[in-house]
Structure 1
């Protein structure tokens, strides 16, 4: 009896090794790399890009005019919270962006404290590795989409080298706090004019998914449309009670979509489908009080909502999230210490690269992110080297940073490599506000990123789930 568990364990080990070896083979396959280069369709990205760009511009301009150009980068990092949780209903958006904002300020303070204490680099990497796990857990528990936990880690690593005194630490923390407040306000500002904007957009996406099904798509598209309907119901229900009647109309519209999806293969109703489809363009205009014609009465009462923190409290005990946090911590530690061991100048960037690569929704997505991050970092570092070498001065650099951040938000859902180009260049320019840097920093960025993504992919392969079929998948949604 005692030998059976040992035998079972010895059988599982070769299975695990075979699965990991197949995963690594998939990571270097030419088709995987070509798939990573594909550009996906994305909608409603311009408004988010403009909103984030404005938030970043405001805080950097204020820092410059106030005579603190060295703090502009930290203010901009705080303003980046406006890039999180896009398309969420505003009551939920406020919580999520607020939580990330508090996280950014805390991580900046912690990083600045490490810098002030002057701890050895190996200890910095160890503590930052733990911070990576905490950041992953925070984002996962509250289901915050967007740039990811890497923003908090980048803010912390930037603060490590910028706090030579208590006064400098206080200034860095204050700048990041002001930036997060501005970022939060920028994220929530559309609530005033378009309170049901996210609900309308989610419903329009459900209509678009229905149109794809009705054009003769596959069962996979039907399942995607059903998910779009469920997502839209969630957004409508979480949009608050101020516009309950309009929300109930959207629910009725979604009911019709669900009925058509249920019978699409044996009872096509082109007339009803055309009527539903006619509302998509109207919903995308974001006119908050536009009536939906053709819907008399309602079929749904919006369900009550519990408090946001209470809803998510059980997720702190999620085994899946805890394992993801531990995996990210170990990968960040290995990558950072490896980069330090081979003499790279910024080993904490390697830690960030490993953590960022591990944020994929499955192994295929993880590999795509790693490839895209590496490619984007190479191009972005070259771009940054040229801009740094040009010695633009404060105000032109501010303009470039704002444009890069806006572009990053516009293309993030299309291809992560394109975003990584803009974000890498922007991150290096932001680093230059708090410390003198030369174009050589680009070489270090690429080398550290290479170490990080390789460690991240290997870690993902070694811990791959047996249910992960390593199939070609779509990319979705970092510094």
Structure 2
């Protein structure tokens, strides 16, 4: 990854001399609108959301109460979350998502019932949006992140409300959320191990790609570092997924496959045969076929025994309130877990705090700016501003362009379908469900393409509760979009995340410490230049310690690359120590390959 330490496709312009130069980076255009391959499980959130939304909407249609669609939609939209998690972890995560959605909706409805001051409501909606952004990033809840929470709550801030209605409306959201929970958990009846099989398949596919590229980083001609990083990240993610599966579940077959995928990090030459096996195993996993019999070396089998012993020990010590399997594969001793880990990520000095300040300032200014140009309920400007804030300025710029383009095309689509929309409520419901499905089918290819479908769906949800003239509705949404994107992006540029460079320094320290610990372990086996020990020569404790060292080093390298990419896209930022990053990644991958090789040496 060393050659990727400098951001590709951009050239940093230094504004002052010295090693601590502050750089302004050009903002990309072409890559902003390019289409990517869709995510492999896009159909799961798409179908779940359609079912979770459709049942309450048709029920309200039968009761003649479509004015309540906003409240049931709040709970139904929770069906978009946690589809990559094993079902035990998904159940917990979805429960927290539903409770968070109901709490946000309750705050919005209470504020709407107590005041009619639009400027004050904009301010409150902006503060809630900032909380959504920071908490979703701290919990790493995954896509769609904070966007759905902010869309629902910002809309609710501007819905006429009486305080006595709030409990009933919250009960509707909670009931729809319970339905969404059931919909998302229903596939467990058919494929109870589907999520962990997909995660393992992704790791095998990444390993196959690496095995086709070339040798390990300590060989004369190293293969592409980006492929190596992708493989390490996929393997690490798969191990974390497996360790969220309850301990009573037999996952030894998946673990054996994952150990074979991990051995690709130590390959010293391209291996087309092994790559073909990994590809075939991944295909079998995705198709639900029986797990293949996978041969392991003695050291690899010893590693799995150590993993099983560690899992049993954690299960016995789970009385501290930490859910079993909720942590990464081998967490460092003393590392905060559960709620404490989330609070730690939000503590003073956290890089999430500047992002929260951006969201609060940008949403408030966008809402007030939209009011200034004549929009009476500027919640869409708040949502637009909140949606563009990403990990850094470059990504936020891309999201602003994508949001504006997608909303414009979505408004044109909505206008073209007005004759169909005016035929009645059944047509509106069917169109809304169609838009929801198309949004999930296309948003992973590019955000602007998904926004084309999200925009008319959001307008339809508003139409159920009120009947504004179509021209006014389209004009207000277009004004809100432009103002929200422009003001939000301006705040993103002005309120910079100067802690992004500090995060790179901290990540470098973590890699250095993890590499030093790994080298001490390897040197104890016979010195830095000693030949790797045979599997039968590695004691059981040594296998476990080697596995710990490998996991910590791999996680540190993933953290470093993420920190560098965030810092690389931040405007007005100190130049990253590119040479130190490149050297740390090269040495780290070399050491990681030695650790993996020690665990996967050929059996006698």
TM-score under structure 2 length normalisation: 0.69
Equivalent residue for 2:83, pick from 80, 86, 111: 86
2:74 match: 77
1:451 aligns with 2:447: no
Q: Secondary structure at the match of 1:413?
A: coil
2:243 corresponds, among 232, 237, 240, to 237
- Residues 341 and 423 from structure 1, CA distance in 2 versus in 1: closer, same or farther, beyond 3 angstroms? same
Q: Within the alignment, does 1:332 sit opposite 2:363 as a pair?
A: yes
Residue 364 of structure 1 aligns with which residue?
Answer: 394
Q: Deviations over 1:110-166 (max 9, x none)?
A: 222222223311111111111111111221222111222232222123223433434
Secondary structure (helix, strand or coil) at the match of 1:361 reads coil
| C-alpha separation in 1, matches of 2:95 and 2:17 | 44
The verdict on how the C-alpha distance between 1:111 and 1:270 changes in structure 2, with shifts beyond 3 A counting, is: same
C-alpha deviation, 1:311, in angstroms:
5.0
Displacement of 1:206 in angstroms is: 1.1
Q: Would you say the 8 A contact 2:211–2:269 is kept in 1?
A: no
**Structure 2 vs 1, CA of residues 326 and 92 (structure 1 numbering), >3 Å: closer, same or farther?**
farther
Residues 18-54 of structure 1: per-residue CA shift (max 9 Å, x gap): 63xx34xx33xxxx22211111112121233112211
CA contact (8 A) 2:397 2:489 kept: yes
2:95 match: 98
Q: Is the 8 A contact 1:388 1:429 kept in 2?
A: no
* Partner secondary structure for residue 568 of structure 2: coil
Q: 1:236, CA displacement in angstroms?
A: 0.9
**1:129/1:423 CA distance change after superposition, 3 Å:** same
Contact 1:86 1:145 in 2 (8 A): no
Measure, in 1, the Cα distance between the counterparts of 2:56 and 2:491. Answer: 38
Q: State the shift of 1:250 in Å.
A: 1.4
Within the alignment, does 1:405 sit opposite 2:436 as a pair? yes
Q: Deviation at 1:442?
A: 1.7
Match of 2:293 in 1: 293
Question: Are positions 1:342 and 2:338 aligned together?
Answer: no
**Which moves more between the two structures, 232-241 or 69-78?**
69-78
- C-alpha distance in 2, partners of 1:312/1:403? 36
Query: Is the 8 Å Cα contact of residues 78 and 180 (structure 2) preserved in structure 1?
Result: yes
Deviation at 1:356, TM superposition (A): 1.0
Partner of 1:6: none
**CA gap 1:97/1:427 in 2 versus in 1, 3 angstroms:** same
Instruction: Say if 1:408 and 1:232 are closer, same or farther in 2 by CA, change over 3 A.
Output: same
1:248 aligns to what?
252
Mapping of residues 73-152 of structure 1, within 5 Å: 73-152=70-149
Structure 2 match to 1:183: 180
Structure 2 residue matching 1:317: 3-state secondary structure: coil
Aligned residue for 1:422?
Answer: 453
CA contact (8 A) 2:205 2:278 kept: no
CA 1:14–1:437: 2 relative to 1, 3 Å:
farther
Is the partner of 2:40 in helix, strand or coil? coil
User: Contact conserved, 1:163 with 1:169, CA < 8 A, in 2?
Assistant: no
Contact 1:260 1:269 in 2 (8 A): no
Cα gap change, 1:260 to 1:397, in 2 (>3 Å)? same
Q: In the TM superposition, what are the counterparts of 1:53-72 in structure 2 within 5 Å? A: 53-72=50-69
268-277 vs 205-214, which moves further: 268-277
Distance in 1 of aligned mates of 2:386 and 2:282? 38
Structure 1: give runs of 5+ residues left out of the alignment. Answer: 1-10, 472-479
Count residues with an aligned counterpart: 446
Secondary structure of the equivalent of 1:189? helix
Which residue of structure 2 aligns with residue 385 of structure 1?
415
C-alpha distance in 1 between matches for 2:164 and 2:21: 52
Contact 2:32 2:398 survives alignment (8 Å): yes
Deviates more, 1:461-470 or 1:361-370: 461-470
Identify if the C-alpha distance between structure 1 residues 186 and 130 changes in structure 2 by more than 3 Å, giving closer, same or farther: same
Contact 1:60 1:73 in 2 (8 A): no
In our comparison, the structure showing a higher alpha carbon Rg is 2
Quote the offset at 1:429 in angstroms.
0.3
Identify the range of structure 1 (127-136 vs 156-165) with the bigger mean alpha-carbon deviation.
156-165
Gap change, CA 1:205 and 1:248, over 3 Å in 2:
same
Q: TM-score, normalising length from structure 1?
A: 0.86
C-alpha offsets along residues 395-423 of structure 1, whole Å, 9 cap, x if unaligned? Answer: 11111111111111122211111111111
Shifted more, 442-451 versus 295-304: the winner is: 295-304
CA–CA distance in 2 between the matches of 1:444 and 1:186?
35
Structure 1 position 299, deviation (Å): 4.2
